[in-house]
Amino acid sequence: MSDMMNTLVYFNHQIVPLREAQVNILTHALHYGTGVFEGIRGYWVKDQEELFLVRCEDHYRRFKLNSRMLDIDPPKSAEELTEITLELIRRNNFQTDVYIRPLAYTSTPRIGVRPDGKFDFTIVAVPFGVYMDSTKGLHAGVVTWRRLEDHALPARGKICGAYVNSVLATNEAHRHGYDEAILLNEDGHVAEGATCNIFMVRNGKLITPPPSDNILEGLTRACVMELARRELHLEVVERSIDRSELYTCDEVFFTGTAMEVAPIIKVDGHAVGCGNIGFITGHLRELYFQATRGRIADYHAWLHGAYQPVAAG
């Protein structure tokens, strides 16, 4: 932990050690959840001596768009935020996989829900390995908590307060012995995992819920859809999914920045397909692994090299 506190972070418009990046206990965002965050992966590839950030500018574009929902406007462009992040990587001399957490938040230390237009933002990068070991497949379960409705608290925005929904779902799933939760929306359709999108394979098609079913519009989700179409020549369909389809489909998997591509072999105790990692899931997981580590030229546009430019595909 002492080494972690020496990590350099971006806070109050400057780069400082993490131990100096402190906020007041009355900070508005701490009490009312009025913040927006992102999660960005970086992969260290030893044989290339490079650390690749995955879709960094796209994450920051989403970050800025989502911040608008709370009338927060980080005064940097996506390109500038990416450059700050690359500088943090270099200043910390990371030679390991990392996770980057930008956070924009209402910063006034006071009581009262009404915002006052004052905000700040920070960027933290930390060493980060496997989020959840899915090498043998995950056991997922549908929980009683429902996914947030857009007209109550927009699920498409990574709003801090909204993630209490994910915490409640995760706690329930773990109490029941599952690795990860699956949430339904108020219409009873499958929405997503607690912190990840969901896909199923049925009748040779790759199917995932649409944004209108209250999902986060995930960037890993978008990557997987592109890989499925271009590399595996699959038909990708965005449509509502019934809970019972998870019991009768051929394959199911999660996607997310932290989760990556994570196979699901059981849902609510029911074996998915043959109860093993599916053929399509395995291929997509491997393709995503290779693409995000700079080994497939066609997807170099997804990457920013921290130590040297990435050649275009």
**Position 309 pLDDT exceeds 70:** no
Catalytic one of 64, 76, 118, 158: 158
Record the pTM. Answer: 0.95
Residue 1 pLDDT grade (very low, low, confident, very high; cuts 50, 70, 90): low
Ramachandran area for residue 88 (φ above 0: left; ψ -120 to 50: alpha; else beta): alpha
Is 158 considered catalytic here?
A: yes
The whole-number pLDDT of residue 3 equals: 80
Q: Is 305 left (phi over 0), alpha (psi -120 to 50) or beta?
A: beta
**What's the CATH number of domain 138-291, 3.30.420.40, 3.40.50.720, 1.10.110.30, 3.20.10.10?**
3.20.10.10
What pLDDT is attached to residue 73? 93
**Segments making up each domain of the chain, as ranges:** 2-127, 138-291
The confidence score (pLDDT) of residue 115 equals 84
Q: Which of 209, 199, 217, 198 is nearest to 156 (CA)?
A: 217
The predicted-structure confidence for 31-86, as pLDDT tens digits, reads as follows 999 999 999 999 999 999 999 999 999 999 999 999 999 999 999 999 999 999 99
Question: Which segments of 2-150 does DSSP mark as H helices, in order?
Answer: 2-5, 28-32, 56-67, 78-92
In CATH, what class is 2-127?
alpha beta
